[in-house]
Amino acid sequence: MKPENAIEVKNVTKKFWVYPDKGHTLKEKILFHKRRAYEERVVLDQISFEEKKGEAVGLIGQNGCGKSTTLKLLTRIIYPDSGTIEMCGRVSSLLELGAGFHPDMSGRENIYINASIFGLTKKEIETRIGDIIAFSELEEYIDQPVRTYSSGMYMRLAFAVAIHVDADILLIDEILAVGDAGFAAKCFNRLKEIKAGGTTIVIVSHSMGQIEEICSRSFWIHQGKIAAGGNPREINMQYLESAGKKRQQIVEAKKERQRKEQQSRKQQGQEQTDKDDGPQIVRFGNGDVRITSVRVKREEEKESDSFLTGDRLIMDIGYQVFREMKEAVIGVGIFRIDGVRCYGTNTKIDQTDSCSLTEDGTVRFEVPVLTLLPGKYLLDVAIESGAGILADYCKEVSSFEVFSPVPDVGIARIGHRWRFL
């Protein structure tokens, strides 16, 4: 092992046995005993990386890609099927909420148990227990059984113990996602202090902003292999772009399936409806003009349902005219998945020139710079006459998701700057 390294992982492979059908009854087990009882699943496939002492490294990737398995291998909770893992120094970990805690023991008793697992002596624990309790902010509950704790209280206690063992290597698996925002910020600031003190950190997180802020390098794990490694911002962008392409493939496959189903219904003489694989679109209006399609795009010709904050968003709205509408008003509403109205406008508000609908056509609504922050959003589209008579209103006619490597919070990113006076 190189003297400057804290962690060296070389050609590590880990497989698990998955049991798809165990047999539900004794009869099934006897009759079908020769049936294959399990299948081998490769979770990590020949991964290798090194981490220097005092460095902070992030692991990113989709659920099930092998990030948590990597941390469990580093903590020696499980062992690799092949390859080697070498580590230098005392290891502290925050992997699963409540791991190492006995539910019937008090918080104080669990501090002794958990800290001893990390290698502290009873004397060392006694000198630090006051600081641990104070950091956790659980003074009122510390002598109660931890089974009475909420998930946030579990996290507070577990984090407080882990950061007070003076570990050389700290492993964290998404645990900062639990608990209130104030304490999470406190934990994150403490992580920065620990990193500045020379502790080696490996963190798994779906928060791209956290990875960029605390880590000097990150690795993107994809299907059990390290797909890329390097500067966190660059790796995050590669990962988000790949996730967007995958979602786009799913959308295109769904539309192709719908197209084939519509052709099949048409050949059988069945009436086409506004149905897709989900429920029928909620719409209302007198039908003088009817919205026929809403296509959300990131580029001119390619539909997409995933965007990065700052991307260009294009919405092409197709309509069919059954009665001419000389002074039409076309509107768009954007709602967050929890129902919060994020933005709404129409051609009348924007004082758009000539909006007379005399024949079938398409109108484009374009957002040059999308300022929405991460989340899933729903679209409402409507057409009404200048007199306010509704022709067609389509509720939740389309949806899209926004991602961002920047950890700011709220609904939208507001242009701003900082300046000391």
What CATH number is associated with residue 222?
Answer: 3.40.50.300
Please indicate, yes or no, whether residues 86 and 223 belong to a single structural domain of this protein: yes
Whole-angstrom Cα distance, residue 132 to residue 159?
A: 9
Burial of 123 (0-12, 13-18, 19+ CB in 10 A): exposed
Residue 286 DSSP one-character state: -
Cβ contact 287:274 at 8 Å: no
Give residue 334's domain range: 281-403
The 10 Å Cβ neighbour count of residue 34 is: 6
* pLDDT for the residue 272: 42
Q: Tell me if 270 is assigned to some domain.
A: no
Q: How far is CA 410 from CA 152, 208, 414, 418, in A?
A: 22, 16, 10, 18
Q: Which of 241, 262, 289 is the last residue of a domain?
A: 241
Token pair listed for 378:
């729903």
Q: What number of CA atoms fall less than 13 Å from residue 197's CA on the CB side?
A: 14
Pairing of strands 39-52, 5-18: antiparallel
* pLDDT for the residue 276: 44
3 state DSSP class of 256? helix
How many Å is the Cα radius of gyration of the chain?
A: 28
* pLDDT for the residue 139: 92
Burial of 256 (0-12, 13-18, 19+ CB in 10 A): exposed
Q: Tell me if 263 is assigned to some domain.
A: no
Please indicate, yes or no, whether residues 172 and 101 belong to a single structural domain of this protein: yes
Pick from 395, 384, 361: nearest CA to 286: 384
Please indicate, yes or no, whether residues 208 and 307 belong to a single structural domain of this protein: no
* pLDDT for the residue 367: 93
Q: Which of 193, 222, 241 is the last residue of a domain?
A: 241
Q: Give me the residue label for tokens 């500045």.
A: 196
Whole-angstrom Cα distance, residue 172 to residue 159?
A: 9
Rounded (5°) CA angle 33-37-38: 170
Q: What number of CA atoms fall less than 13 Å from residue 237's CA on the CB side?
A: 7
Pick from 16, 4, 7: nearest CA to 45: 16
Phi, psi for residue 74 in degrees, rounded to 5: -65, -35
Please indicate, yes or no, whether residues 55 and 188 belong to a single structural domain of this protein: yes
What pTM does this model have? 0.62
Q: Tell me if 160 is assigned to some domain.
A: yes
Please indicate, yes or no, whether residues 50 and 160 belong to a single structural domain of this protein: yes
* pLDDT for the residue 206: 77
Q: Tell me if 14 is assigned to some domain.
A: yes
Q: Tell me if 156 is assigned to some domain.
A: yes
Please indicate, yes or no, whether residues 123 and 185 belong to a single structural domain of this protein: yes
3 state DSSP class of 319? strand
Pick from 389, 262, 245: nearest CA to 307: 245
Query: Model confidence over 299-327: pLDDT tens digits?
Result: 776 788 888 888 899 999 999 999 898 88
**Percent of the chain that is helix, strand, coil (3-state, to 5):** 30, 35, 40
Phi, psi for residue 223 in degrees, rounded to 5: 50, 45
Please indicate, yes or no, whether residues 113 and 40 belong to a single structural domain of this protein: yes
Pairing of strands 169-173, 200-204: parallel
* pLDDT for the residue 26: 67
Please indicate, yes or no, whether residues 172 and 83 belong to a single structural domain of this protein: yes
Q: Which of 188, 211, 241 is the last residue of a domain?
A: 241
Token pair listed for 326:
């000389």
Q: How far is CA 45 from CA 1, 85, 217, 220, 227, in A?
A: 22, 14, 21, 14, 11
What are the helix (H) ranges across 80-121?
107-117
Q: Give me the residue label for tokens 């641990």.
A: 132
Q: What is the CATH number of the domain that holds 341?
A: 2.70.50.60
End-to-end CA distance of the chain: 51
Q: What number of CA atoms fall less than 13 Å from residue 111's CA on the CB side?
A: 32
Please indicate, yes or no, whether residues 236 and 301 belong to a single structural domain of this protein: no
* pLDDT for the residue 277: 45
Q: Tell me if 412 is assigned to some domain.
A: no
3 state DSSP class of 384? strand
Please indicate, yes or no, whether residues 90 and 147 belong to a single structural domain of this protein: yes
Please indicate, yes or no, whether residues 83 and 144 belong to a single structural domain of this protein: yes
Cβ contact 404:355 at 8 Å: no
* pLDDT for the residue 131: 92
Q: Tell me if 274 is assigned to some domain.
A: no
Please indicate, yes or no, whether residues 34 and 165 belong to a single structural domain of this protein: yes
Residue 368 DSSP one-character state: S
Q: How far is CA 324 from CA 54, 328, 385, in A?
A: 70, 9, 10
Residue 294 DSSP one-character state: E
Token pair listed for 83:
């390859």
Q: Tell me if 186 is assigned to some domain.
A: yes
Structural domain count, the chain: 2
Token pair listed for 234:
């660059």
Pick from 254, 212, 220, 267: nearest CA to 408: 212
Flag residues of the chain having pLDDT under 50: 270-279
